[in-house]
């Protein structure tokens, strides 16, 4: 499969372990039980070509229904096993990850059931929590699928998350938020979102987030930091476009 990368370069004066940190983000694999090891290997080879420091998965790998298939479980384990040989992987959930089909009606499992499965895999799940790396604070926002499109609930969850982690993280580090939720709906909440230096989200809106925020491509003009979150990058998803994001965070002198 012909995977492509959208590339971004981000400069920061915050404390970074390396002069340049490479991150790959992907979303919406939407795998079903027919996925083959050949297709998994193909994706892994493209990621390995980059040798990123981190891989971030923004949700919707598959449905909970598919995870009930024992052979498919082995394929998911195979995927994370290969990824772990390249780098560390962090993940949040999208609404499809929870899906169960019952009598032709869509229902959802609990987040506890999802975590129960994925905690056995070589991936770190961020469930409204933070993982402190040497150079990044990696923060994950998960929403109950029933509230996935509720803007007020989204704002409330972000406020709760910031309150919970604010006294345990070092804000001299680069703060990264991972979420499957569309951040363009919070376009007027710059004071809230400015807590994060970089936000990765799934794109639902037909209007790109760069219209509202500062999603800057390599060639774009830099924007003063005080204007809100420095960067918001929306991922269109592998299932739709065979596309991943490659982000290079570069340390610059203060």
- Show me where the domains of the chain are located: 4-251
Whether the CB-CB separation of 114 and 93 falls below 8 Å is answered with yes
Give the residue among 196, 177, 161 at the shortest CA–CA distance from 14. 196
74-78 long-range contacts, Cβ below 8 Å, gap at least 24?
75/31, 75/35, 75/37, 75/40, 76/31, 76/121, 77/120, 77/121, 78/37, 78/40
Give the residue among 138, 130, 140 at the shortest CA–CA distance from 175. 138
Give the residue among 18, 24, 94, 74 at the shortest CA–CA distance from 247. 24
Give the residue among 8, 11, 7 at the shortest CA–CA distance from 250. 11
E-strand ranges in the chain read 4-12, 20-26, 54-57, 88-91, 99-102, 105-108, 124-125, 129-132, 136-141, 174-179, 198-202, 231-235, 243-251
Tokens of 32: 């079903």
**Angle, nearest 10°, between helix axes 37-50 and 70-86?**
20
Query: One digit per residue, pLDDT tens: the chain, 254 residues?
Result: 677 888 888 888 887 777 888 999 998 899 999 999 999 999 999 999 999 999 999 999 999 999 999 999 999 999 999 999 999 999 999 888 998 876 566 788 888 999 999 999 999 999 999 999 988 999 999 988 777 777 888 889 999 999 999 888 887 888 899 998 877 667 677 778 888 888 888 764 433 334 334 444 433 434 344 444 566 777 767 766 778 888 888 877 65
Whether the CB-CB separation of 56 and 91 falls below 8 Å is answered with yes
Whether the CB-CB separation of 250 and 53 falls below 8 Å is answered with no
Q: Chain-centre distance of CA 234, in angstroms?
A: 9
Instruction: Could you please state the CATH topology (level 3) that the domain comprising 4-251 is classified under.
Output: Purple Acid Phosphatase; chain A, domain 2 (3.60.21)
Strands, sheet with 243-251, edge to edge from the N-terminal-most edge strand:
4-12, 243-251, 20-26, 54-57, 88-91, 124-125
């Amino acid at each position: 499969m012909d995977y492509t990368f959208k590339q971004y370069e981000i400069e920061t004066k915050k404390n970074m372990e390396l002069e340049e940190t490479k991150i790959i983000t992907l979303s919406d694999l939407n795998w079903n039980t027919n996925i083959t090891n050949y297709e998994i290997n193909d994706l892994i080879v493209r990621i390995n070509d980059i040798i990123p420091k981190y891989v971030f998965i923004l949700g919707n790998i598959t449905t909970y229904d598919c995870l009930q298939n024992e052979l498919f479980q082995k394929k998911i384990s195979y995927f994370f096993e290969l990824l772990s040989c390249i780098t560390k992987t962090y993940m949040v959930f999208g609404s499809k990850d929870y899906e169960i089909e019952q009598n032709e009606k869509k229902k959802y499992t609990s987040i506890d059931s999802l975590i129960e499965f994925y905690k056995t895999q070589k991936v770190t799940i961020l469930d409204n929590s933070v993982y402190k790396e040497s150079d990044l604070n990696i923060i994950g926002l998960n929403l109950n699928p029933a509230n996935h499109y509720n803007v007020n609930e989204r704002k409330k969850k972000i406020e709760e998350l910031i309150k919970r982690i604010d006294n345990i993280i070092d804000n001299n580090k680069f703060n990264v938020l991972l979420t499957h939720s569309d951040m363009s709906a919070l376009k007027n909440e710059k004071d809230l979102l400015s807590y994060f230096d970089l936000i990765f989200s799934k794109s639902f809106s037909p209007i790109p987030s760069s219209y509202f925020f500062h999603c800057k491509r390599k060639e774009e003009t830099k924007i003063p930091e005080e204007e809100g979150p420095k960067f918001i990058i929306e991922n269109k998803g592998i299932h739709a476009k065979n596309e991943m994001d490659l982000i290079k965070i570069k340390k610059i002198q203060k």
